[in-house]
Amino acid sequence: MDCLPLTIDELRRPRIKLVNGMLHPSDVCARKITFIFKERMDENGYSWKNVSKETKDFYWNEFQKFFVWDESMLSAIKMAWQRKAAERYRALMCSLRKGKEKSMHVSDSAWKTWTEAWNSPEFKTRCEKATANRLTEIAGPGSGISRHTGGSISHASHADRLRSRLGRDPRPFELFEVTHTKKGTSMLVDTRAQSVKDRYLGACGASISNARRA
């Protein structure tokens, strides 16, 4: 949960907004979107692309019952919802395929349709390409896979938490460190993140040395 309290309307719906084109607070929205998915699953919805327009409209209409926003932002909010819904639906389907999701019921006919699709050569090829893209070392060979530990919580939400804890706006590196440190440890998530930290500390050390010589 975000540390800062949400604004509530007369129907006790939290007021949400957009930050960098994303729903905020992202974790609250993400949990509610997934909750709504479980109310109604599409017979052919083995992927977000295959979910019917009728079912997607149902998801959107249900989402509107739980949150409120500036009406002038309706179109932009819906676009942000579509992106977040696609992301959370992929995550839900992934959990189902791996047998990790136990809290929802899927009809036998839908499960048969989904498993046949998931086992098709076309679907497996797409999954392999997506996995390869996620494993790309964008900073070059040996730099490590680009990762973060923020989960469904946006950087804006993490910044809110830090702001509440520190009593001031967090510095960019403070936010970076929070979102790239393994939970329960002081270890960074990968070699790329460690490289960023080393360069930052090196730059700070050089700046201090220069200031002392001045």
Boundaries of domain holding 198: 155-213
Look at residue 100 in the predicted model and tell me its pLDDT.
Answer: 85
4, 160 Cβ separation under 8 angstroms: yes
As for how many domains the chain has, the answer is 2
**Max alpha carbon distance in the chain (Å)?**
75
Model confidence over 58-85: pLDDT tens digits? 999 999 999 999 999 999 999 999 999 9
Look at residue 1 in the predicted model and tell me its pLDDT.
Answer: 42
Q: Are residues 173 and 121 in the same domain?
A: no
Here the contacts of 183-192 (C-beta below 8 Å, separation 24 or greater) are: 183/149, 189/147, 189/148, 189/149, 190/144, 190/145, 190/146, 190/147, 191/142, 191/143, 191/144, 192/137, 192/139, 192/143, 192/144, 192/145, 192/146, 192/147
Q: What is the mean pLDDT of the chain?
A: 81
- Band of the pLDDT at 32, cuts 50, 70, 90? very high
Model confidence over 129-164: pLDDT tens digits? 877 765 555 444 444 545 555 555 666 677 777 778
Q: Are residues 126 and 191 in the same domain?
A: no
Q: Are residues 86 and 188 in the same domain?
A: no
Backbone angles phi, psi at 19, to 5 degrees: -130, 115
Look at residue 163 in the predicted model and tell me its pLDDT.
Answer: 79
Q: Are residues 109 and 78 in the same domain?
A: yes
Mean pLDDT across the stretch 97-121?
89
167, 4 Cβ separation under 8 angstroms: no
